[in-house]
Structure 1
Amino acid sequence: MYAASRGVVWKLERAHDFHEPDVPSWRAMMDGDWDLSMRLMAEMCEPLRQLYAAPPEFRRLRVVDTPITPYLQWEINGLAMRVAAGEQIRALPAAAVRDLETTAPLPELVVFTTSLCYEVRYDGIGGHTGARRVTDPDAIGPALNALIGLYGRAEDLIAYHEREVSAGAPRLCGAQSGGTLSGRPRARRARTTRSRPARTSSPTARAGRSRRTRSPRGPCRGWRSAPVLRRTVTFVIETYVASVCQG
């Protein structure tokens, strides 16, 4: 779909934490290994360079807020790499869209034409779950015009990266990753073994266990948008998979 497009493909990105366990660089960042994360990210550059060498042009507007989350710092580094590969990206402060968010955050959008757009969907921890296909020009046209207007007011991503991200220490993902939110990873503590209480087979205990769910790794939060299977828009929905390289 992306390769068959002509003109400009637009992407609006608003949320500040996503859950991307399929991405090696993301996993390294979550594990507290910033250097490895950056090396893995660099490996994504050449495939992207080849992709962007041919039409269509891809323009992304990244809404940014403060304080910068660990995920956003990681992603901004990735976006700087994408700019070097040929993607057109600008950053816009969240304050510039507050008047558009009186009822909900702006949606995550990928716009191919004035008659084809995808509103990307994420779950409660920022995991990608699909997208809703929109084909109504009366709905897409005003949204695209607004996106183009916001893009025109935004700052070049490289300038934002150099001022807000590249000079700072990596913001790693806390105790779960063995890192700190303001510096290099801490030395990992030696694991200790705790004895677990014996399992009980009482009906009450079994019912309690069945209601439990695992907590997601890392400080990931999502936003609600609305419902197409992930693979239909793998690249533009930005899974950061190295084979496409990746949202």
Structure 2
Amino acid sequence: MELISSAQRNQLFESFAHDAFHLELRDDYSVPDEDSPFTSWLRGETVDYSYMEPWTKLMRHLTSEGKTVRRVRVVTEPQSPYIQWEYATTPLNEGAGEQIRWLPRHRLPEDLVFPVAGNDWWLFDDRLLAVGHFDAEGRALGSEIIEDPETVAECVCLRDQLWAAAIPHHEYNS
């Protein structure tokens, strides 16, 4: 399996035409012992969110062109500290034009099977997937590009199902 870097995956945002959708399934995206804004937040320190500026600038640009960028975050309740932090930072994403919804894991249908081995993925224009892969410690390894129509169709169906069931950020209480 060939993986592309996060930077290469982010280049996909330059070429999609209508819709980018991210399914997030992990309750923790932090890397142990990493000095990060999340670690500072956990310590109750003031966090400089300027690290998000390249992303929010890109989102403002894309959404000003009429493109949509959406996320569903499937989360365990009670929420992990990382998800609590994501919840606290979501207004920055939404302020840049992203649409974010939350879906408590216990509300998923019991018979639901996640495609692509239950990994997170970005779906671009219902035609291309960038599937995230992580190591055992939670470090991002990169993304696998999948354009197989059957796999993409599975993800489109799941996206539509989860988007309809998920709770908009402003209505979800962490």
Q: Please, what TM-score do these two structures have when normalized by structure 1?
A: 0.56
- Which residue of the partner structure matches residue 154 of structure 2? 142
- Which residue of the partner structure matches residue 82 of structure 2? 71
**Aligned partner letter, 2:19:** V
Match of 1:88 among 94, 99, 106: 99
Q: Deviation digits for residues 199-226 of structure 1, max 9, x if unmatched?
A: xxxxxxxxxxxxxxxxxxxxxxxxxxxx
Q: Deviation digits for residues 185-241 of structure 1, max 9, x if unmatched?
A: xxxxxxxxxxxxxxxxxxxxxxxxxxxxxxxxxxxxxxxxxxxxxxxxxxxxxxxxx
- Which residue of the partner structure matches residue 123 of structure 2? 111
How far 1:15 moved relative to its partner? 0.4
State how 1:61-210 maps to structure 2 within 5 Å: 61-97=72-108, 98-101=110-113, 106-160=118-172, 163-164=173-174
SS in 2 for 1:2: helix
Does the alignment pair 1:41 with 2:52? no
**Aligned partner letter, 2:128:** L
Identity %: 24
Unmatched tracts of structure 1, length 5 or more: 165-247
When residues 43 and 15 of structure 1 are mapped into structure 2, their CA distance, relative to the original with a 3 A threshold, is: closer
- When you count strand as a share of all residues, which structure comes out higher? 2
**Aligned partner letter, 1:156:** P
8 Å contact 2:62–2:68 — kept in the other structure?
no
SS in 1 for 2:14: coil
Does the alignment pair 1:9 with 2:9? no
How far 1:118 moved relative to its partner? 1.2
- When you count helix as a share of all residues, which structure comes out higher? 2
How far 1:127 moved relative to its partner? 1.2
RMSD (Å) for aligned C-alpha atoms: 2.6
How far 1:3 moved relative to its partner? 2.1
Q: Please tell me whether Structure 1 or Structure 2 has the larger radius of gyration of its CA atoms.
A: 1
Q: Please, what TM-score do these two structures have when normalized by structure 2?
A: 0.77
SS in 2 for 1:130: strand
Alignment partners' CA distance in 1, 2:65 and 2:36: 26
When residues 68 and 105 of structure 1 are mapped into structure 2, their CA distance, relative to the original with a 3 A threshold, is: farther
When residues 127 and 96 of structure 1 are mapped into structure 2, their CA distance, relative to the original with a 3 A threshold, is: same
What is the aligned length?
157
